[in-house]
Amino acid sequence: MFVLQRSGGGKATSSPAENYQLARRRTLQVVVSSLLTECGFESAEKAAVESLTEMIQSYISEVGRCAKAYCEHTARITPTLSDTVVTLIEMGFNVNTLPVYAKRSQRMVITAPPVTNAPVIPKALIAGQKRTHPSHIPSHFPEFPDPHTYIKTPTFREPVSDYQVVREKAASQRRDVERALTRFMAKTGETQSLFKDDITAFPLIAARPSSIPYLSALLPSELELQTLEETDSSEQDDQTDSENTPGNNLNDDPGADKENSMLPPGGVVPSVKASEENMIDNPYLRPVKKPKVRRKK
Amino acid sequence: MNRKKDKGFESPRPFKLTHQVVCINNINFQRKSVIGFVELTIFPTVVNLNRIKLNSKQCRIYRVRVNDLEAPFIYNDPTLEVCHHESKQRNLNYFSSAYTAAVSAVDPDAGHGELVIKVPSELWKQGDEMNVLKVYIEFSLDQPKGGLHFVVPDVEGSMAERGAHVFSFGYQNSTRFWFPCVDSYSELCTWKLEFTVDASMVAVSCGDLVETVYTHDMRKKTFHYVLPIPTAASNISLSVGPFEILVDPYMHEVTHFCLPQLLPLLKHSMSYLHEIFEFYEEILTCRYPYSCFKTVFVDEAYVQVSSYASMSIFSTNLLHSAMIIDQTPLTRQCLAQALAQQFFGCFISRMSWADEWVLKGISGYIYGLYLKKTFGVNQYRHWIKEELDKMVEYELKMGGLPVGSNGHLTCPTPHLHFSIKHPHTLSWKYYKMFQCKAHLVMRLIENRISMEFMLQVFNKLLSLASTASSQKYQSHMWSQMLVSTHSFLKSISNVSGKDIGPLIKQWVDQSAVVKFFGSFAFNRKRNVLELEIRQDYTSSGTQKYVGPIKVTVQELDGSFNHTLQIEENSLKHDIPCHSKSRRNKKKKIPLMNGEEVDMDLSAMDADSPLLWIRIDPDMSILRKVEFEQADFMWQYQLRYERDVVAQEESILALEKFPTPASRLALTDILEQDQCFYKVRQGACFCLAKIANSMMSTWTGPPAMKSLFTRMFCCKSCPNIVKTNTFISFQSYFLQKTMPVAMAQLRDIQNLCPKDVLNFILDLIKYNDNRKNKFSDNYYRAELIDALTNSLTPAISISNEVRTVDNLNGDVRLILEEITRSLNMEKLLPSYRNTITVSCLRAIRMLQKNGHIPSDPSLFKSYAEYGHFVDVRVAALEAVVDYTRVDRSSVELQWLLNMVQNDPAHYIRHKILSMLGKNPPFTKAAESPLCNEALVDQLWKLMNSGTSHDWRLRCDAVNLYYTLFGLTRPSCLPLPELGLVLNLKEKKAVLNPTIKPEQGPDTTEMTGITMGGLITMETVSSVSMSSGVAPPPQGLKRKLDSVVGPLGSSSPEPGQVLQEEDTSKKFKIRVRISSAEDEIDMESPHDSQAFIHHHLNILERPSTPGKEPPAVDQAVLSLPVTPLPSSFGKESTSSSKHSGDHHHHHHHHEHKKKKKKKHKHKHKHKHESKDKERDSHAFSNSPASGRSVRSPSMSD
């Protein structure tokens, strides 16, 4: 097969595949030139020769392609003469004229193209053993495709169960995450530094006053609450008395919780609610009275 | 004080308060202002009651009406500015006496007050009929600096959404800061309290909430409280805010309030309050006296706990979730303290300040009983020991701490730089130690009369009080609700039949503690223990003890108690031993508690049967014991004595015996999990110290490392710590402490061993709290503390600047950890930001040791308002330390600025007390910081800058004392006249003592003639300039001219004067130390008035009839000498002064008829005078170099 290449006569290119193609093309050029001489031309412009070469190359390529197509159509892998003949006929060429033309007297003999190494087809990745046919398959049948197309490569490794390593990993992972995170925060925000000469060395996220500092200092963070829930749920299996786990106080006991959270901030209890809560008589839960209507102050 | 021992309480006032209405109808959070009125119902107890004195500070009073008649009033607060007239005195003795005088002048316990109301004459007649007077006062408060604290966070939203709140606070009786009242603990009355607040807010106050009513526009509501139990105004409080309400699930009459979003924490923190209630009610066999109880948790609290009638205000920082271990006992203790004070302190009040110790003692004592029951006997005994040690240390340092009634009045306290006659003049530390001593004394009484009787006495006091409280005023029973030392002692003798008079005399009336030194020898022949107990009663703060003392001797055959009698001259005591020295290895040794144990007796002295000896094991004397016994005895004591106090004592003693045997004993204790955890913690630190002393002979891994590994690390991989569970609190505390103690280990180069450092770093690295239901924030914080402990000074070749490049490798690792932890805190803050606190401390330590450049800017940013209070305190501590180490005046200024301007009172207090603890310089050392400007600034701070906060003022006084001492600060230029005039009482006028300043060139000068003369002169100068400023020039001239001729006849004084004259270091100082004299209390007075009053008295004998002789003399002296023009100006100004003063005197004479207006005029004049004097002083100061007064000029 020809690979069309319009490198414009690239000179220094020296890969084997290119050399091979250049040699062929040069032969074709010689062919064209000799045909022109045959026809009586004494000289030709380079561009014209080039065009003709291109045409002839296309023609030959097309013949080759079609012949291969015919051959594959009949489930063969190597084209036979008849494939070529059919092709030529198909392309509108009178095959019968060919022998005469071939034997014409003024034909010029052209030297065979210089032998160059056929281009090496890069080898596919070899993965695993190539499998041979099993005995019940005749040897002429095509070979198995490359193993990489069908074998599976295990990406799973045996889990490390060594306690020490696990702890080590967990610790260093956490540390790396923390360091990366804090460095990121430090990079993206304001920082304070402990050194004057190198303010990037140990960057500290700048202290920022908050308007209600006690909230963040007293309330457990979400992360802590989460772990608390997790430890609780894991413990509940062996602890039937859920009252004893202190974390539950935060989440359970919904009755009391709601009753208070439903209070408007001022401690005003909706009258409906108040009647339900008659049990608890606390002055702060009582409804707020309406002012006495006074005519005159 | 009008207290007669037998007749109970007598009011110092000519009237009796029965009922008071407080109505605050507007609270503006935006402007931080309050408007309201009070109405006091009073019964005159004298005929013709014409003046009513009430307490009021910083309130603006609009009108006063008595029985609907407008009444004139005078409002004068002498404590606003203690020493009037910018004096150049600057000495603390002077200030303290002036301050005491000012506080006494308005002391409600003596019947005085800032607000004097003249009863309209129309009502005078009514006094005869003993009719009721109703005093109605309208007042407002604008941006109060004390008494009420507004917390208004600067965020978006309405005040309720912002969590804005306000609450009352104060130290001792401070209610006068927010409404006019009789601010005394002994003036009881019933109350009606009304607060109109925004509809989204709750007003919590004392007594029962009767109803809540909307205002007409429905935008506000009024909370009506009634307190039928007679209560002192000082026990009234208020807090208003958008509180979340929690009704106690166990006791419905108890209500808890917290700030928005904290309800879950409140629920958990309050879940055991009912147990405390039950405990107290049970031991006192008395119901909680009020019908309800309220707890309010507020931000920026003044103190952690403050108790008022039927409510307590706490710091919101006491709230915690179920995950927090360390805070839990602390919060419970605070609740228990608050509740104990409800019974004794709020319900039962005190007669006078001298009886305060009884209340503090009882509440502290029953709190101790609660501790014993809840936290165990070990914790209780540990606490007692801790309190005793603290108190003893303070007394030895300060030289005495009288708490009781007579002590206040009789015991002279010249060693203290503050007066103890008033609660408001006390140093805060003193007050804390006072409380400490009070409950320790109660415990001594318990030891004496038994707990049963003790509780009976309390019960009796309470039941008397509750009977009285239900009576009407007319029954005159209310004074039963007041406790006095006398009534307390009487109940004790009634109940127990014992006279504890001597005990009270020794520990209450008398200050000082006992210091014992013990040693012994064993006499083998007689089988007798010869014990020698010596006492040190000569050094300050100590007293001689005579009486019984208990000694416990542990012998081979058992433990034996001996009671020895400490007598005048007997030092030696022979104690017969019960057991022969022998080696019966099979026999077990019985201990004090009946337990029998096997001991390895090989370490013992073969000749002696003694295992260990303890002096006063029950701490039944307020003492310090230093006892000598052999190291093996201490080791036995540590291992086998079951009392934690004994164990702690032996740990302390073993520090002096760095031997393998001590090491073994300590290690054994560490491993013994039945041992009290605090003892084990103590053993850790002792072990570290011993290891350092044994450095050269120490074998094996660093101390405690293998122990820690065994206890807390994984079996399979000993270098990795187990994941946290913290189920066993004892182990938790030990796990926290061990690394901190280990970090104190040092190798031969005095560095922390590499092993140890890596070990700690690994602990941090492998710390894993994912499966823990408790927070590990305290643990992590202590690991950072451990890193801090491991730091040692950097080796520096020269004084080079610290850079990143020359950072030591280990330090780099430490710094990495600190940086990461501190940064993580920003993302996941820990409870109470404990880790930030530890990191800040660590950074300061790195700076101090020269590893990183010393720089306060980081700390300053953390100290800003808006950070959590613990963080601020830690940062401020670092700044204070920096100020001392780097002697930085910029930072000192910054701190002092914060003292003046910070919104949080606690922070202000903390800065001053930290500066006092870690002062930038002391009176003993020279420092560039010590300069005149600083003296002026501090003086101003305590003189007028802190008038709104008693505690802060006393803190400032303390700091002044630490920096400059009692006398004039050494950095000040010496005053103008080198004469000190001490006007002590009236005698001093006739024969005054003239003390020289501490100037280098002054000599002792005495002489009646001279004295008399100078007195005359100075008195007149005093009348011109209030006696404390550089005297006017004219006078000075006069003095010279008078002295001149005298000098020839009596050369000694004359010479001195001459010398001083040339050196130009003169000053007349007048010390009024007779301020407690009977003064005309009818008139509104201030220090100014005092001085004038005294001067009037003084002047009479010397210049009868002629009031201002000095003016004449001064003016007269002028023409004698030619003077520079400036001089002339000065003297005219001085004569103007005297003119003013003349006028002033005049005023004083007729003051009774003057009103407020005049007062203002006065002040204005003083100010202008001050200015004049300032310029004057400047031109006269020696530094100015002008020789106006040089002899050549006068010639």
pLDDT of B18-43, one tens digit each?
999 999 999 999 999 999 999 999 98
Contact residues for B563 (Cβ-Cβ < 8 A; gap 6+): B548, B549, B550, B551
Token code pair at residue B839: 């990191």
Average pLDDT over residues B584-608: 81
Q: Do A90 and A66 touch, CB atoms closer than 8 A?
A: yes
pLDDT digits (tens, 9 = 90+) for B246-301: 999 999 999 999 999 999 999 999 999 999 999 999 999 999 999 999 999 999 99
Q: A interface mutation test: which of B202, B205, B247, B761 has the most A CBs within 10 A?
A: B247
* Distance from the Cα of residue B314 to its chain's centroid: 18
pLDDT score for A233: 57
Q: Is the dihedral of CA B319, B322, B327, B333 positive or negative?
A: positive
For the range B248-251, what are the long-range contacts, defined as Cβ-Cβ under 8 Å and sequence gap of 24 or more?
B248/B273, B248/B274, B249/A256, B250/B274, B251/B277, B251/B293
SS (H, E, C) B971-996: CCCCCCCCEEEEECCCHHHHCCCEEE
* CB proximity under 8 Å: B 1013-1032 to A: none
pLDDT over 90, % of chain B:
57
Q: Count CB-CB contacts under 10 A for residue B3.
A: 19
pLDDT digits (tens, 9 = 90+) for B379-394: 999 999 999 999 999 9
Q: Is the dihedral of CA B961, B965, B971, B973 positive or negative?
A: positive
pLDDT digits (tens, 9 = 90+) for B72-131: 999 999 999 888 866 677 888 889 889 999 999 999 998 999 999 999 888 876 545 567
Q: Do B338 and B301 touch, CB atoms closer than 8 A?
A: no
Task: State the amino acid at position B39 in one-letter form.
Answer: E
Q: Do B398 and B416 touch, CB atoms closer than 8 A?
A: yes
Q: Is B181 helix (H, G, I), strand (E, B) or coil?
A: strand
The residue that leads in pLDDT, B1057 or B569, is: B569
Please report residues of B whose CB lies closer than 8 A to that of A292.
213
Contact residues for B170 (Cβ-Cβ < 8 A; gap 6+): B146, B147, B177, B302, B950
Please report residues of A whose CB lies closer than 8 A to that of B866.
209-211, 213
Average pLDDT over residues B694-722: 89
Backbone angles phi, psi at A206, to 5 degrees: -65, 145
Please report residues of A whose CB lies closer than 8 A to that of B210.
283
Please report residues of A whose CB lies closer than 8 A to that of B299.
212, 214
Given pLDDT bands bounded at 50, 70 and 90, which one contains residue A63?
very high
Given a cut of 50, whether residue A2 has pLDDT beyond it is no
pLDDT score for B581: 59
The Cα–Cα gap between B610 and B619 comes to: 22
The burial class, CB within 10 Å (0-12 / 13-18 / 19+), for B208 is middle
Token code pair at residue B816: 């990495």
Please report residues of B whose CB lies closer than 8 A to that of A214.
259, 299, 316-317, 868
Residues in chain A: 297
| Closest to A69 (Cα-Cα) out of A79, A81, A58 | A79
Contact B260 A203 (CB under 8 A): no
Contact B717 A224 (CB under 8 A): no
| Closest to B150 (Cα-Cα) out of B132, B163, B137 | B163
The Cα–Cα gap between B37 and B1173 comes to: 42
Please report residues of B whose CB lies closer than 8 A to that of A295.
none
Q: Do B960 and B92 touch, CB atoms closer than 8 A?
A: yes
Token code pair at residue A277: 């809560």
Contact B212 A288 (CB under 8 A): yes
Q: Where are the alpha helices (DSSP H) in B1050-1086?
A: 1051-1063
From A198, which residue of chain B is nearest by alpha-carbon distance? Answer: B804
Given a cut of 90, whether residue B195 has pLDDT beyond it is yes
Q: Do B564 and B529 touch, CB atoms closer than 8 A?
A: no
The residue that leads in pLDDT, B1135 or B859, is: B859
Task: State the amino acid at position A210 in one-letter form.
Answer: S
Q: Count CB-CB contacts under 10 A for residue B580.
A: 12
Look at phi and psi of residue A94 and say left if phi exceeds 0, alpha if psi is from -120 to 50, else beta: beta
| Least confidently predicted of A104-118, B435-449, B1091-1105 | B1091-1105
Task: State the amino acid at position B1174 in one-letter form.
Answer: D
**Bridge partners of B118?**
B51
| Least confidently predicted of A159-168, B317-326, B494-503 | A159-168
Picking from B162, B267, B823, the nearest residue to A182 by CB comes out as B823
Element (H, E) at A124: none
Task: State the amino acid at position B169 in one-letter form.
Answer: F
The Cα of B782 is separated from the nearest Cα of chain A by a number of Å equal to 18
Q: Are strands B349-350 and B514-523 parallel, antiparallel or unpaired?
A: unpaired
Q: Round the average pLDDT of chain B to a whole number and report it.
A: 81
For the range A160-163, what are the long-range contacts, defined as Cβ-Cβ under 8 Å and sequence gap of 24 or more?
A163/B714, A163/B716, A163/B717
Number of helices (H), then strands (E), in chain B: 35, 34
* CB proximity under 8 Å: B 202-261 to A: 202, 208-216, 218, 221, 242-247, 249, 252-253, 255, 259-261
Picking from A163, A196, A207, the nearest residue to B714 by CB comes out as A163
The Cα–Cα gap between B102 and A140 comes to: 122
Picking from B247, B259, B803, the nearest residue to A285 by CB comes out as B247
Token code pair at residue A69: 């197509």
Q: Do A208 and A216 touch, CB atoms closer than 8 A?
A: no
Given a cut of 90, whether residue A259 has pLDDT beyond it is no
Contact B160 A249 (CB under 8 A): no
The Cα–Cα gap between B872 and B895 comes to: 12
Q: What Rg do the C-alpha atoms of chain A give, in angstroms?
A: 45
The Cα–Cα gap between A113 and A23 comes to: 6
Residue-wise burial string across A30-62, b where 16 or more C-beta atoms lie within 10 A, e elsewhere: eebbeebeeeeeeeeeeeebbebbeeebeeeee
Contact A164 B766 (CB under 8 A): no
The Cα of B217 is separated from the nearest Cα of chain A by a number of Å equal to 9
Q: Do B57 and B154 touch, CB atoms closer than 8 A?
A: no
Given pLDDT bands bounded at 50, 70 and 90, which one contains residue A135?
confident
Q: Is B381 helix (H, G, I), strand (E, B) or coil?
A: helix
Token code pair at residue B662: 């001590």
ipTM, two decimals, is: 0.76
Token code pair at residue B326: 């360390």
Contact B853 A195 (CB under 8 A): yes
Residues in chain B: 1195
Contact residues for A29 (Cβ-Cβ < 8 A; gap 6+): A49, A53
Given a cut of 90, whether residue B1142 has pLDDT beyond it is no
The Cα of A156 is separated from the nearest Cα of chain B by a number of Å equal to 27
| Closest to B439 (Cα-Cα) out of B496, B499, B372 | B372
C-alpha torsion angle, residues B487, B489, B492, B497 (rounded to 10): -120
Q: Does residue B870 sit at the A interface (CB-CB below 8 Å)? A: yes
pTM of structure: 0.75
C-alpha torsion angle, residues B1000, B1001, B1005, B1009 (rounded to 10): -140
Q: Do B649 and B615 touch, CB atoms closer than 8 A?
A: no
Backbone angles phi, psi at A192, to 5 degrees: -120, 155
Look at phi and psi of residue B478 and say left if phi exceeds 0, alpha if psi is from -120 to 50, else beta: alpha
Backbone angles phi, psi at A151, to 5 degrees: -80, 155
E strands within B374-511? 482-483
Please report residues of B whose CB lies closer than 8 A to that of A178.
820, 824
